[in-house]
Structure 1
Amino acid sequence: MPAAPEGGFPACPDRLGLYPVLPSADWVERVLGLGVRTTQLRRKTADAADLQREISRSVEAGRRHDAQVFINDHWREAIAAGAYGVHLGQEDVQTADLSAIAKAGVRLGLSTHGYYEMLRALHFKPSYLALGAVFPTTTKVMPTKPQGLARLSRYVQLLSGRVPLVAIGGIDAKAMPGVLETGVRSAAVVRAVTEAPDTAAAVLSLQKMFAGQR
């Protein structure tokens, strides 16, 4: 494996809370305006100019709202824009310049799918680990079967206090209470926000679930 950057990556809060993963800067601005404090831009485009604009707008929205905005995959552009953090997959650590990300003071979130990948990710001393997919999801092709709540609970027992944890994958408002009962302090959502008939009402309802955590 590539060597971990000396000193690891900057820390992020243990309680990242509701973590919407969003397709555009418009969505990032809208959701941060509703009081969300952690979000991720997952922009799917091959247009370099579009990508730069979307990342710059999202990062600026994060600054305005004093929020944590992570950029999915595009670590070079995230560094250039002064992003709070980047989120990478397991395969990305083989090609990304992890030292450059760390030296820029950018936080690193890593995706994991089971025990082996969690141990592998811990080697790099990331700012948080994403644990998934908890449930079946249609937003991307997953390399493993859904982990389920029983496994998520075991992951939390093993890693809580060592690194911030984010549950991800197929989580909606109906599933959220069970996810939070595992003790995880952050959960990523996609369609629960982007496909909600009333975005503001959906965000408020989800935020209230986190407010009830011990």
Structure 2
Amino acid sequence: MFSNSFLPIAAPLKFYAVVPSADWVARMVDAGANTVQLRNKTAIGSTLYREIERSVAYAKDSPTQLFINDFWWEAIDCGAYGVHLGQEDLESADLVMIQSAGLRLGVSTHSTDELIKALAVKPSYVACGAVFPTKTKAMSSQPQGLDKLRQYVIQAGSTPTVAIGGIDLSNAREVLATGVSSLAVVRAVTEAAEPEKTVKAFQTLWQE
């Protein structure tokens, strides 16, 4: 589909926080999260644009790599580092425009076929899930489990892989043992008593 790959990530994705607002993006940047995704499902119009704009400003000049979920046009306009798309968005998004603007691209996958489809556009990374049952959003597919995750890591080859879905500190080590590049979490950080300490606790896993 593309003669060129999307830009590679600048640094290992490692701990990947998926958060609902610009204020949460700011907290994660301040906490030193390696990667953050703004996934705002409630704001619209100028309110949404402002959330994206603020998020980009918070992450600018920091080591944190910020991805905007779904809203690729706004991500381009605000000068975001990257955009994350679901499978359905691959059909409607202008991938050439995203690529030409210099944004990195992450793509969600939930099966071998979806991973093949995602890898065909030569993204910056692929997300594989849900690994475990999750209450974050309704899933049309069953949890993939660790054995399938290992297969996806092999299938992805040199493309970085992000594991997502039901991951917390109690199972993070066994997920990392599959060879994935990154662990993405939602509730494990947004519902944590001390989110900043949770970020550091996850990050130590890459030092073991």
**TM-score under structure 1 length normalisation:** 0.93
Q: Specify which of 163, 166, 185 is matched with residue 167 of structure 1.
A: 163
1:13: Cα distance to partner?
A: 4.4
Structure 1 alignment gaps of length 5 or more? none
Q: Deviations over 1:89-115 (max 9, x none)?
A: 111111111110000001110000111
Alpha-carbon distance between aligned partners in 1 of 2:154 and 2:55, rounded to the nearest angstrom: 34
The reply to whether residue 80 of structure 1 matches residue 77 of structure 2 is: yes
| Aligned mate of 1:62, from 59, 78, 83 | 59
Q: How does 1:182-201 map to 2 (within 5 A)?
A: 182-201=178-197
Paired amino acid for 1:208:
T
The aligned counterpart of 1:129 is: 126
Match of 1:36 among 30, 33, 39: 33
Distance across 2 between alignment mates of 1:200 and 1:122: 33
Runs of 4+ more than 6 Å apart: none
Instruction: Within 5 Å, give how 1:15-164 maps onto structure 2.
Output: 15-160=12-157, 162-164=158-160
Partners of 1:150 and 1:26 in 2: CA distance: 36
RMSD over aligned Cα, in angstroms?
A: 1.3
User: What SS is found at the alignment partner of 1:40?
Assistant: strand
SS of the residue corresponding to residue 114 of structure 2 reads: helix
State the aligned residue count: 208
The answer to whether the Cα contact below 8 Å between 1:20 and 1:189 also exists between their aligned partners in 2 is yes
Secondary structure at the aligned position of 2:83 is classed as: strand
What secondary structure is seen at the aligned counterpart in 2 of 1:124? coil
Q: In 1, distance between residues paired with 2:108 and 2:11?
A: 16
User: Does structure 1 conserve the Cα–Cα contact (< 8 Å) formed by 2:119 and 2:156?
Assistant: no
Give the partner amino acid of 2:174. Answer: G
TM superposition shift of 1:50 = 1.1
Residues 21 and 39 in structure 2, CA contact (< 8 A), matched pair in contact too: yes
How far did residue 193 of structure 1 move? 0.5
Please report how far the alpha carbon of residue 71 of structure 1 lies from its aligned counterpart in structure 2 after TM superposition. 0.1
The CA distance in 1 between the partners of 2:7 and 2:73, in whole Å, is: 17
**Structure 2 counterpart of 1:127, which letter?**
S
Q: Please list every run of 5 or more consecutive structure 2 residues that lacks an aligned counterpart in the other structure.
A: none
Q: TM-score, normalised by structure 2?
A: 0.96
Percent identity among equivalent residues?
51
